[in-house]
Amino acid sequence: MARRAAFLAGAGAAALAAGLALAQAPGPAPEPHRTITSPESGRNYATPETLAIQDDDFQNPAFLWVEEGEQAWNHPAGSAGQSCASCHQDATASMRGVRARYPAYNAAKGRVVTLEQQVNICRTERMGAPELRIDSRELNAMTAFIGLQSRGMPMNVDISGPARPFFDRGEEFYNTRRGQLDMRCGSCHEDNYGRSLRADLLSQGMSNGFPTYRLKEQRVISLQFRLQGCVNDVRGEPPAMGSEEFTNLEFYLAWRAQGLPVETPSVRR
Amino acid sequence: MMQATTLGRRGALAAAAGLVGLSLLPKPAAAQMEPATAAAIRKIIGERTPEEGRVQLRLPPIAENGNTVPLTVTVESPMTAADHVKAVHVFADKNPTPDVATFRFSPAMGRAQADTRIRLGQTQDVIAVAEMSDGKLYISRAEVKVTIGGCGG
Amino acid sequence: MAAPIGQPRVRLPAQIKAGEVIEIRTLISHIMETGQRRNQEGQIIPRDIIKSFTCTFEGQPVFSMDLHPAISANPYIAFPFKAERAGNLEMVWTNDAGEQRKLTQAVRLAE
């Protein structure tokens, strides 16, 4: 008995020493804390009428955008005379899983980029085409089309290695109180999901359905357009769409939704 | 009412006439209808009196967002050349303008139904008036609560 | 300048039996500007909507709809059709400026 306790104590000391060594030398960052351990999709917070529109690919108006995105995929744009398909061929094969792992660290850029930004990198650097404005109809059509190819696949972003500092900044943004209402993102989406804010049922704020057809806007919207709305709602000054702040936040949000199936293009109120 | 102030005396008279006309509509379908809605209905059916029934509105009792509210209208009818629905007119009582849609039907449809999605500016009644091939008119109404969300963004 | 009218989507069931009442579903991309909104300078944005939809079968009227600004953007319209024989459905969407989108859809009957 005594011998065993002594052995355990020894093991503990060894682990402690190892931990101290880790803290001093550069090594893998600690696993981040997950406030919501079993995330729920926004569809769990939608009415049956809204879900009926999402669950029928014909009724879902976002498929008007998907079809435009598919046409653009195969259509050459820019001075290089290339289309997306010139490099990536059949999107149903080449884009499968892409939405699930974005935003992602781009080594050449030395930062995390969103799917929208990656499309624009392709356009400017490969196709000789101008950037598409974030949240423009053309760009939302393209990301809806690309996103659809991952529908049903679990969200799976990689926050390790060089991506980690961007993740940490996104987490910090998430947890920073802002606006005249002095609220953090989690004030609604962690502390109060399942409760009503006036007539709106607060969701967990999961991003797995974006881009989404929003009933209010009656169009497909990008995640960062919605994020601007959230910051406005707490009477804050939202960062620009495509800004570093929102890109890092989008990266953190994707990790929060880790494991949830991609629902792009979803329908939300 | 707004009509009376913007249209002047003649408008006020017309609105009043609309209100009088309301008494011809069966209750509860005629209950508490805005003058503009009554006038819009009169414009289509004149002084004829619709009966309750046969036309059905299917709408969510609570709309998640008033900009996109799914609507289905059905009418009980054999839809034969001799006996069919000619048209269904849909109105939103408290929208800025009450007209929503007119569906024109034919026996070639086999069944009297139409589906679309509508905008409702606030909690209100949606009203459907069906015109049958024998000249009969039917009316029904359904209330939709339009929620004011906390998430304006 | 009128807002663009997108390519319509129309769907019929994959298999249609003679005499069957099928559902025809349509969706078209359009902003359905009500004429009641204001732009950032405070000016009214002029009304610009799809104002009518018609469907005929071999030239005979089947179904039509007058649309008002209370119809949501990207109008969804569905209605039944009794498929007695094979032939062509023609559908036409018309905006306030009189511009049209037409689509012809063949009805084929299963043996």
Q: DSSP letters of B52-97?
A: ESSEEEE--SEES-TTSEEEEEEE-----SSS-EEEEEEEETTSSS
With beta carbons under 8 A apart, name residues in chain C contacting A67: 7, 9
On the question of pLDDT at B127 being above 70, the answer is: yes
Which pLDDT score is estimated for C67? 98
| pLDDT class of B32 with cuts at 50, 70, 90 | confident
Which pLDDT score is estimated for B28? 55
Residue A196 is part of a domain; what is its CATH number?
A: 1.10.760.10
Which pLDDT score is estimated for B147? 83
| pLDDT class of A26 with cuts at 50, 70, 90 | low
What is the ipTM, given to two decimal places?
A: 0.95
Give, in degrees to the nearest 5, the angle at Cα B90 between B88 and B96.
155
Which pLDDT score is estimated for A30? 85
B69 strand-pairing partners: B118
Give, in degrees to the nearest 5, the angle at Cα C36 between C33 and C41.
95
Residue A211 within any structural domain of the chain:
yes
Residue A8 within any structural domain of the chain:
no
SS3 A153: coil
Judged by CB atoms closer than 8 Å, whether chains meet at C29 and A64 is answered as yes
Which pLDDT score is estimated for B30? 56
Judged by CB atoms closer than 8 Å, whether chains meet at C70 and B119 is answered as yes
Which pLDDT score is estimated for B98? 97
Q: Which one has a higher pLDDT value, C6 or B119?
A: B119
CATH match for C9-107 among 3.30.300.180, 2.60.40.10, 3.60.15.30, 1.20.1050.10: 2.60.40.10
Residue A217 within any structural domain of the chain:
yes
Cβ atoms C55, C89 nearer than 8 A: yes
Which pLDDT score is estimated for B152? 63
Stretch B36-46: mean pLDDT: 94
With beta carbons under 8 A apart, name residues in chain B contacting C70: 92, 95, 97, 99-101, 118-120
Full set of structural domains in chain B with CATH: 2-146 (2.60.40.2470)
Residue of C nearest to A53 (CA): C76
Residue A263 within any structural domain of the chain:
yes
With beta carbons under 8 A apart, name residues in chain B contacting C34: 96, 119
Poorest-confidence range of A4-13, A62-71, A191-200, C47-56?
A4-13
How many Å apart are CA C100 and CA A3, to the nearest integer? 89
On the question of pLDDT at C1 being above 50, the answer is: yes
The structural domain count of chain A equals 1
Which pLDDT score is estimated for B29? 54
Give burial (CB, 10 Å; 0-12/13-18/19+) of A122: middle
On average, the pLDDT of chain A sits at 91
Which pLDDT score is estimated for A197? 86
Query: Domain residues for A57?
Result: 42-268
| pLDDT class of A28 with cuts at 50, 70, 90 | confident
On the question of pLDDT at C94 being above 70, the answer is: yes
On the question of pLDDT at B61 being above 70, the answer is: yes
On the question of pLDDT at C85 being above 90, the answer is: yes
Residue of A nearest to C73 (CA): A218
Chain C interface, best mutation among B109, B124, B129, by max C CB count within 10 A: B109
pLDDT, tens digit, for every residue of A72-110?
999 999 999 999 999 999 999 999 999 999 999 999 999
Chain C interface, best mutation among B117, B122, B129, B133, by max C CB count within 10 A: B117
A230: annotated active-site residue: yes
Share of residues in chain C with pLDDT > 70 (%): 100
On the question of pLDDT at A35 being above 80, the answer is: yes
Residue ranges of A for the binding site for substrate?
226
On the question of pLDDT at A168 being above 50, the answer is: yes
Least CB–CB distance from C74: residue in A58, A61, A68: A61
Q: Which one has a higher pLDDT value, B152 or A175?
A: A175
